[in-house]
Amino acid sequence: AGRFTQKRRDAVVRPRTAQSENARADVPVHQGDVGRGRPHRHGYRLRRRGVPGDAFGHATHRELQMFVEAGMAPLAAIRAATLDAARVIARSEDPDYGSIRAGKAADLLLLDADPIADINNTIRISRVMRAGRWVR
């Protein structure tokens, strides 16, 4: 009793993490897929197995609100959630990833109101562009 077995040592040295639990449960965790349009399928599979996470869409707007509530300027919050996040995802790929330029296939939202005046205006979506084409 009370012996420090290899199994108990491993539990101390290598504590369980969500990533290790997901690997054991054969749950795909593809961080790179988030920036490549495949998060929904993997997100669903993770949630189905009990891995906590945010609902895509609503959580992004709420995160922007919380950034501003914490003292960030609305423009800084929007930049952190868009261009800066895209650059982190694509660090080894296109250095202009996340920017809007002629000839690029952009994903973007057109809003009915100014989000700089009120960050809650990010939910006032008028049009949606996906891969450079208006879809809504």
Q: Give pLDDT tens digits along the chain (136 positions).
A: 445 455 544 444 444 444 444 444 443 443 333 444 444 455 556 566 666 555 556 788 888 999 999 999 999 999 988 888 877 777 656 766 777 788 877 788 899 999 999 999 999 999 998 888 899 8
Total Cβ atoms within 10 A of residue 86: 17
Rg of the chain taking only CA atoms, in angstroms: 20
What is the rounded distance in angstroms from the CA atom of residue 98 to the CA atom of residue 135?
A: 19
Phi-psi region of 105 (alpha: psi -120 to 50; beta: other; left: phi over 0): beta
Cα 25 to Cα 17, 18, 39, 52, 97: the distances in Å are 12, 10, 18, 15, 33
